[in-house]
Amino acid sequence: MSGETAALRLPKAKGPIMTSSLPEPVARLIAAANAGDAEACIETFAVDATVNDRGRVVTGRDAIRAWADGHLRGAAVTVDVTAEITTREHATVTATVGRGGASARVYLSFTVADGLISDMTITI
């Protein structure tokens, strides 16, 4: 399952639509974030997954849920993928992430195992 990719069409910043080759759980995470569906975001992570958000590390779905509550609840979040690199179980995404009228370029690195995200690292 870790080799599956999703044929998700993601908007490219100020340009045409690009077709994505992101692993399926990564594509689902981005789509769920854009839909404001926090629970669907959480379901893309393995039970023992790790998120490293600029040095703040949380491990396990419950901790990831608490971390996500601070990011996905309230103001609408947008994840606009502008570049991606996928190699087997690893994917790296450059995106413009917007929240509450502000936006920032963000780099997201993922490891996927058994059809779920096992590791996500966020850098700016």
Question: pLDDT, tens digit, for every residue of 90-105?
Answer: 999 999 999 878 899 9
Residue 24 covered by a domain: yes
pTM of the model: 0.81
Query: Looking at the 3D structure of the chain, how many domains does it have?
Result: 1
Whether 55 is in a domain gets the answer yes
For 94, the domain range is 9-123
- CATH number, residue 69: 3.10.450.50
Q: What is the 3-state secondary structure (H, E, C) of the chain?
A: CCCCECCCEEECCCCCEEECCCEHHHHHHHHHHHHCCHHHHHCCEEEEEEEEECCEEEECHHHHHHHHHHHHCCCCEEEEEEEEEEECCEEEEEEEEEECCEEEEEEEEEEEECCEEEEEEEEC
Residue 117 lies in a domain: yes
2 belongs to a structural domain = no
pLDDT for res 53 = 94
